[in-house]
A and B are shown apart, each in its own frame.
Chain A
Amino acid sequence: MEIEREAREQDLENEELEELGDEELKTNIAQRETFVLPSGQEIEKGPQSEDLQVILTRIQEIVRVLNNFRELKEEGRSRSEYVDQLIKDLGLYYGYNEYLMEKLFHLFPVSEAIEFFEANEVQRPVVIRTNTLKTRRRDLAQALINRGVNLEPVGKWSKVGLQIFDSPVPIGATPEYLAGHYMLQAASSFLPVVSLAPQENERVLDMCSAPGGKTTYISALLKNTGCVFANDANKDRCKALMANIHRLGCKNTVVCNYDGKEFPALIGGFDRVLLDAPCSGTGVISKDPAVKTNKSDDDFIFLAKIQRELVLSAIDSVDANSATGGYIVYSTCSVTVEENEAVVDYALKKRPNVKLVPSGLDFGKEGFTSYRGKSFHPSVSLTRRYYPHTYNMDGFYVAKFKKISNKIPEAPKEEEDEDIEEEEEVKVASKKKGKSAKPVVEEESTSILDNAEDEELIRGLFIFHQNQADSDSCLYF
């Protein structure tokens, strides 16, 4: 019978394929062994580049299999085996430590992950921001073109950004630069300020401001009215911050050197607060490849702790009754969930008097509402993620909060916020009755967990202090 014959042929073909697959995997195993063991024969034979070539082929093969797992997998092998091998290979090929590789790998579908790692090997374009306090973008572009610079506007979303393709003169030392007509600033760091959208005559706090790209942008948007408090915990970095502020002609700034956590106690009642938190820098690996190897579990625990404390301080520093403001923007140059969605989710739980609002940025991917078994508040989808391979800017994360009231409903600890007004409490209580019910319940159910989490964080802190010497330099991005 025709059909029988075809079926038999099909079977044969399948068997052949399987055999091929078998062989492939076997050779893979052989290669893996020779790679792990330095005494392996193949390593003696070929130079390093060949090994990388082998790994690359294997990466491509595994990606192919994973993309069509049901048909291409080898019998008796689970998906996780393939994934483990892939993570190992990717780590070797791109030079990441396994811990970080695994963390980053799970953020994306398989082939997108490869794109991400590939994009981290390529430098992002140089972008400058026009200082609207001193010049206009058209004039600046003309002046730079006259110096032989090749540039174009950075994109429709920004009216002040210029992307530099190549330049015969150092772009950080032209007379225009020194005269403060522009700031060298990655495109991604425009985003939190665009999202913050400060209005004239407002009082704004930039909690981690050095070297001042965002601070001076805020000042420019305020047109030198109102007041910008630029804080940075690192005194040395404040020097660059102050130099930039003066170079760009920002006259409405106050620079101070505090730990951001001290803030609501020092001075509060801001109209808007920008918190560009210190982070692991996994979004800017192309800029600082050292991140690939020097980050460990402890760093992430330590950073997550700082970020959580800072975001609460930032929220408490804002005056919810501000006529024009009452907003907090949280951003990091990291792509990991621990430093982003988890922190935002934590803030929502600890401070039910804030809610997430649309970031005001019309591009970017939605934040995760659930990730590897953890689920976050549904509104976390209003936050925005940016990846190096999608928008050709650094990896970035932006979340925008609106503070609804100055009173923290059912706060776990009684502290902060001296400027609570009694009438406001009453007003808010009646206004928020329906809304607040849910977060409060969540709060109670998770408060124990939070304590446990905190303990874990603190324990991590101790470990961190022991290792601080090697990782200190990359704390503040």
Chain B
Amino acid sequence: MRPLTEEEVKTLFEKLAKYIGRNITHLIDRQDDPHCFRVHRDRVYYVSESIMRKATSVNPHLMSMGVCFGKFSKTGKFRLHVTCLEYLAQYAKYKVWVKPTGEMPFMYGNHILKAHLGRITEDTPEHQGVVILSMSDVPLGFGVTAKSTQDARKMEPTGIIVFHQADVGEYLRNEDTLV
């Protein structure tokens, strides 16, 4: 377990900014309970500082602490995991709601089609990171828009609106590699 290098911080924040923009500051400056990011075996964890200090005593066989945000690939890229969904959903600027018929297809790892689109934040640009919610506001995953809100209006029902990035179905599908 170690703090992130400057380069890693940059990569991580660039990625996070795609989804939550400037709200990143809310993650870093937490007056109530200071939190920090830590790398452990290529995985990035977001954890309360007091818990992190306690976790150092089990460092050699530490498996996980706090919330895992994702991992650095061998090439140095950062990949967000569905495990950070709760924070993303809390701070996301742009959101997409899917109809009940679209919940299952998305949770099986498919992109979101126009036909399944229930609601979308106004003025969502193209290629913007969005959090996917069900109509009852339960976060289901996140993705990247294929079209802006404007363009989406003109699309046919089979067109892809959001490219799939991660969904809660991965808790079943990739349990072993998730954390």
A residues sitting closer than 8 Å to B (CB atoms) are 143, 172-173, 175-176, 178-181, 203, 227, 229, 235, 238-243, 245-247, 249, 251-258, 266-267
Q: Are A253 and B138 within 8 A (Cβ)?
A: no
CB atoms of A178 and B65 under 8 A apart: no
Q: Across the interface, do A242 and B64 meet the contact criterion of CB distance under 8 Å?
A: yes
Whether A246 contacts B140 by the Cβ 8 Å rule is: no
Interface: B145 (CB within 8 A): no
Q: Which residue of B has the minimal Cβ distance to A263?
A: B58
Q: How many A-B pairs with Cβ below 8 Å? A: 93
Give residues 141-159 of B contacting A (CB, 8 Å).
none
Q: Is the pair A175, B103 in contact by a Cβ cutoff of 8 Å?
A: yes
Residues of B within 8 A of A243 (CB): 171, 175, 178-179
Q: How distant is the Cα of A240 from the Cα of B48 in the complex, in angstroms?
A: 23
List chain B residues, Cβ under 8 A from A258. 58, 61
Q: Are B61 and A256 in contact (CB under 8 A)?
A: yes
- Known contacts A175-B140, A242-B178, A246-B178; decide if A254 and B86 are in contact (CB<8 Å): no
A254 pairs with B107, CB closer than 8 A: no
Given known A175-B103, A266-B57, contact A238–B63 (CB-CB < 8 A): yes
Given contacts A229-B58, A254-B51, contact A179 B168 (CB under 8 A): yes
Structural contact, A255 and B134, CB atoms closer than 8 A? no
- B47, B51, B176: the one contacting A239 at CB < 8 Å is B176
Report yes or no: A239 in contact with B175, Cβ–Cβ below 8 A.
yes
A-chain residues with CB within 8 Å of residue B129 when the two chains form the complex: none
Q: Closest approach, in angstroms, between the C-beta of B90 and any C-beta of chain A?
A: 11
Q: How far is the CB of B18 from chain A (nearest CB, A)?
A: 21
Known: A247-B168, A256-B58. A175 touches B138 (CB 8 A): yes
Please name the residue on chain B nearest to A147 by beta carbon.
B100
Say how far B126's CB is from chain A's closest CB, in angstroms.
28
**Chain B residue total in the interface (Cβ 8 A):** 34
Q: Which residues of B lie under 8 Å from residue A235 when comparing CB positions?
A: 63
Q: Could you tell me if B55 and A254 are in contact, using CB atoms closer than 8 angstroms? A: yes
Contact of B171 among A143, A178, A181 (CB under 8 A): A178
CB of A252 within 8 A of CB of B168, answer no
Distance between Cα atoms of A245 and B51 in the complex (Å): 15
Question: Closest Cβ of chain A: how far from B161's Cβ, in Å?
Answer: 19
Complex Cα–Cα for A172 and B173 (A): 12
Q: Is the CB of A242 within 8 A of B50?
A: no
Between B47, B50, B63, B178, the greatest number of chain A beta carbons within 10 A of the residue's beta carbon is seen for: B63
Residues of B within 8 A of A242 (CB): 63-64, 68, 178-179
Given known pairs A175-B107, A179-B139, A179-B140, the reply for A246 and B67 (CB within 8 Å) is yes
Given the known A-B contacts A227-B54, A247-B171, are A176 and B63 also in contact in the complex, defined by CB atoms under 8 Å?
no
Task: Enumerate chain B residues within 8 angstroms of A257, measured Cβ to Cβ.
Answer: 61, 63
Residue B27 at the A interface, CB < 8 A? no
Closest residue of chain A to B50 (Cβ to Cβ) is A227
Closest 10 CB pairs of A and B: A178-B168, A242-B179, A246-B83, A255-B63, A256-B58, A255-B64, A267-B57, A254-B55, A254-B65, A257-B61
Q: Are B179 and A239 in contact (CB under 8 A)?
A: yes
Residues of A contacting B140 with CB < 8 Å?
175, 178-179
User: Known contacts being A175-B103, A179-B139, A251-B66, is A203 close to B178, with CB within 8 Å?
Assistant: no
> Restricting to B85-107, which residues have a CB under 8 Å from any CB of A?
86, 103-104, 107
Asked if B21 CB lies within 8 Å of chain A CBs, one says: no
**B118 interfacial by beta-carbon distance below 8 Å:** no
Question: Shortest CB–CB separation between residue A371 and chain B, in angstroms?
Answer: 38
A246, B175: Cα distance in complex, Å = 11
Bound complex: CA of A227 vs CA of B48, how far in Å? 10
Chain B, 56-83, contact with A by CB distance < 8 Å: what is the 0/1 string? 0110011111111000000000000001
Chain B residues positioned under 8 Å from A266 (CB to CB) = 57-58
In the assembled complex, 27 residue pairs joining A and B whose CB atoms fall closer than 8 Å, in A order, are A175-B103, A175-B134, A175-B168, A178-B107, A227-B51, A240-B175, A241-B63, A242-B63, A242-B64, A242-B179, A243-B171, A245-B64, A246-B67, A246-B83, A247-B168, A247-B171, A253-B64, A254-B54, A254-B55, A254-B66, A255-B63, A255-B64, A255-B65, A256-B58, A258-B58, A267-B54, A267-B58
Cβ-closest chain A residue relative to B52? A254
B61 cross-chain contacts in A, Cβ below 8 A: 256-258
